Structure 1
């Protein structure tokens, strides 16, 4: 006979089959995503570099951006960091890490890093440079090494959430660790 749990319901007691209760609980969690963090080139990179991080799965929505991930994780969108793949006038790729609720001034970025022009890559070009699908782009474990630029104000946060190499998967990390492990340069380019 299955065990039961006694759950008080105002004046009367209600017996619930413990196995059914666990099944309901498990299914509600599993319906969001597999509860195990995925293995990606980004997570391998983080482990290889001895980086402490937390895993956060959420229901990915096409074109939802950082607003959706912030809402799903119940965090401020300012702490969700976008990984943007851009190119200079010579089609050389670079990565910009920016607050989810801000945009990059490409004109100011070009001026600060000594380029004539900076443009956001087309999705297929970004995929080719990084090895990640757009919406799942991480600055960690990219296909080819690229210079990384971080918006200076990202370092003011205690914890940031950044893509872990798959759509619907962010990792929580200390922003100073981003700077160190990615050998990134600081810029002031937020709009």
Structure 2
């Protein structure tokens, strides 16, 4: 397949001495985690979406969610003590993260943003999260995700 990209995410992981596996696949526009899990042969539940969201003041935040789940923005706002939380428009998400939508990694973002993780993601033996480029995931242990990002666990998953 294609060469593995070097991204701000992989540079940060190497700098933090995080062991990770690289997984390149053919990106499909609007394919989402269904495509990446199929291409990698892993459960969609283990593929983690990186969502750039914002509260009512426009303050950005990152939410990590299982690929086969959606985020309850009402539950998230309630748990964060905010009035509302919504997904950012693609151009706004790109401005905050420095990544193209579809290639957003929680690692190495342009702006430092608070990171929230669906609690059950931390129970996975291994998770697959975007490595900073469309069609590129990295496999890491949840403990390493916690060590590097210090995410706040939340309970906001909705089954699709």
Q: TM-score, normalised by structure 2?
A: 0.97
Q: Which runs of 4+ in 1 moved over 6 A?
A: none
Q: Secondary structure of 1:56's partner? A: strand
Cα deviation digits, residues 73-111 of structure 1 (max 9, x gap): 010000000000000000000000000000000000011
Gaps in structure 2 of 5+ consecutive residues:
none
After TM superposition, the structure 1 = structure 2 runs for residues 18-97 of structure 1, keeping only pairs within 5 Å, are 33-34=1-2, 36-97=3-64
Q: Distance in 2 between matches of 1:183 and 1:73?
A: 27
After TM superposition, the structure 1 = structure 2 runs for residues 106-185 of structure 1, keeping only pairs within 5 Å, are 106-185=73-152
Tell me by how many angstroms 1:62 deviates: 0.0
Tell me by how many angstroms 1:175 deviates: 1.1
Give RMSD over aligned pairs: 0.6
* Residue 98 of structure 1: aligned partner: 65
Cα deviation digits, residues 7-64 of structure 1 (max 9, x gap): xxxxxxxxxxxxxxxxxxxxxxxxxx32x42100000010111111000000000000
**Rg bigger for which structure?**
1
Relative contact order higher in (CA < 8 Å, ≥ 6 apart): 2
* Residue 8 of structure 1: aligned partner: none
Tell me by how many angstroms 1:130 deviates: 0.5
Q: Distance in 2 between matches of 1:105 and 1:122?
A: 17
